[in-house]
Amino acid sequence: MPLKTDISVWAAQIRTNFLILSVVLVMIGGAAAHQDGYTDPFRLILVMMGVILSHISVNLFNEYSDYKTGIDFLTDRTPFSGGSGILQRELLRPETVLKAGIATLLAAFLIGLYLCYETDWRLIFFILTGAFASVCYTSYLARWLLGELFAGLSLGTLVVLGTYFVVAQTLSLSIIVVSIPPGILTALLLLLNEFPDVEADRAGGRKHLVIKYGKKKAAYIYSIGLVLTYALIVIGVVLGGAPATILVSLLTIPLAARCGYVAVKHGDNREKLIPALGMNVGVVIGTDLLLSVGYFL
């Protein structure tokens, strides 16, 4: 396989375009720590590397598992759901993808252990939770109605808290409150992306909110989650001591409202839902990014 093709295949396989989520989550924790007077660029870079590697491992394990269970052979792929299709097109061997997932998770774990040694061993809680979610998400958590919860924790709230903790070696009430909205947003990103794949996921043995409650109720859960996200940002400012400038993140409310409307009205209409999947990515990344920017305003 030519080098150019090889690179492009791996870029698609690790879902490079979704890794921006890891970047903005670390940015929130780092920006909040900086605003509180704590700065350590070297450790922040290590956290960024570790979180991105962990995110890559989750994507690889998920692709491998969905290939083995046959889920990705049943999905009608969209730009936002249904996997990369790399294994289905036989551009990479499944065993190679699995080994790459193990290697990236191990690298992330070693970075985490180094940061524990350099800072505080209580950081191990964040690391072990992330490792548990990475390894168990597809095979267990996504089958036990825990997928959305652990996605929100391990690739949302705990990344923000863990980043802040590495830099500041403490946690404030403010960052605890502010870390919850990014977690909800990550869970909602997964939730809406499950709509097009519901039949394939059911056939593959998964059990998530859309399967359990149906698309209509899941759409209302999604909409309530959006309202809760923005409410908690305001609460973080009013009661948690977060700077008022993070309210700039509320600028994504109109886009979020549109997503909620489409989910409720057209959750069963694939063609009308797909644009909302793209808008949902904008809501998640945009809100997280504006949260981090708000700390510097």
* pLDDT tens per residue, range 109-147: 999 999 999 999 999 999 999 999 989 988 889 999 999
- Quote the number of domains for the chain: 1
243-277 tens-digit pLDDT: 999 999 999 999 999 999 999 999 999 999 999 99
pLDDT value of residue 3:
44
For residues 102 and 203, the model is more confident at 102
Please say whether the beta carbons of 142 and 208 come within 8 A: yes
Distance CA 91, CA 148 (A): 30
31-53 tens-digit pLDDT: 999 999 999 999 999 999 999 99
pLDDT value of residue 4:
46
Question: What number of H helices and E strands is found in the chain?
Answer: 13, 0
- Band of the pLDDT at 6, cuts 50, 70, 90? confident
Please say whether the beta carbons of 237 and 173 come within 8 A: no
DSSP string, 184-239: HHHHHHHHHHTSTTHHHHHHTT---HHHHHHHHHHHHHHHHHHHHHHHHHHHHHHT
User: Which range of residues forms the domain containing residue 169?
Assistant: 3-294
**Paired tokens of 2:** 């030519």
pLDDT value of residue 138:
82
The CATH number given to whatever domain includes residue 245 is 1.10.600
Left (φ > 0), alpha (ψ -120 to 50) or beta: where does 172 sit? beta
- Band of the pLDDT at 61, cuts 50, 70, 90? very high
Please tell me the number of Cα atoms within 13 Å of 159 on its side-chain side. Answer: 35
pTM for the predicted model, two decimal places: 0.94
Distance CA 26, CA 15 (A): 18
pLDDT value of residue 5:
55
**Paired tokens of 234:** 């305001």
